Amino acid sequence: MSIKLGDTAPNFQADSSAGKIDFYNYLGDSWGILFSHPADYTPVCTTELGYTSKLKSEFDQRDTKVIALSVDGVEDHKNWIKDINETQNTDVQFPIIADKNRKVSELYDFIHPNASLTATVRSLLIIDPAKKVRLIITYPASTGRNFNEILRVLDSLQLVDSHKIATPANWNDGDDVIIPPSISTEDARIIFPKGVNEIKPYLRYTPQPNK
C-alpha cells in the first residue's frame, strides 16, 4: 500500500510497549506522529527515541501524540527503553509498536526493498485530527531525523489550518507568512489588518496572524 498526502491514515491494532494499541483510539482527536525504526538496540534509533522523549512538553503544547514502530517484539522494546532512558537521560512514555510480522510496516509502506528486505526505513508521518496524512518524510537507516524540523512543520500545519496563509522557506513560529495567490491584495488588506507587504503581485507577506 502506498500512502500519499491527503490520504486517510489506515487504522490498525497491534501490541506495543504500552499494551494493546488501537491506533485511532490512541490518537483520539489529537494530531499524531507515527515514525518507524529499523531495529531495537541500534545506536541512531536510541538517540532518536531519547530526543523525542525529551520533546514531550513541546508535543503536548501542540496537542500531538507520538508513537514509534520497530519490527522487534514487546519484550525487546521494554528492555530497549531501559537502555534509552539510561543513555539519553530521559523517560520514554510514548508506545513503541511491536511489528514482528511487519503488518503495520507493510500497511504504511515502511519497508523499502531496495534499501532492506526486512528492516523499516526511517519514515515519519504527521496525521491531523481528521486522520489525514499531512506530512511524509523518509530518511535512510544511517541518518537520524531532525525533530526540530518536525516541530516546525507541525507549527506550520496548525497555523495554515487556522488562518488563510502559507509559510515560506525556513519559516519559524513568529516569522512573517505568505498570503496565498487565491486571495486578492484588496481582500488581503481586510483579512490581514497587520499589513500586507507586496513584493510581487504573487509574492505578499504579512505578520503571523496569531502573534
Q: Are 205 and 199 in contact (CB under 8 A)?
A: yes
Q: How far apart are the first and last CA of the chain?
A: 41
The C-alpha atoms of residue 191 and residue 175 are separated, in whole angstroms, by 18
Q: Are 89 and 31 in contact (CB under 8 A)?
A: no
Checking 188-197 for CB contacts under 8 A at 24+ apart, the result is 191/164
Angstrom CA distances, 40 to 8, 24, 71, 89, 146, stand at: 28, 25, 8, 18, 19
Strand pairing class (177-178; 197-200): unpaired
Q: Are 35 and 127 in contact (CB under 8 A)?
A: no
Tell me the angle at which helices 43-54 and 74-88 cross, rounded to the nearest 10 degrees. 70
The C-alpha atoms of residue 37 and residue 143 are separated, in whole angstroms, by 11
Catalytic, out of 21, 45, 159, 165: 45
5 belongs to the catalytic site:
no
Q: Indicate which residues carry an active-site annotation.
A: 45
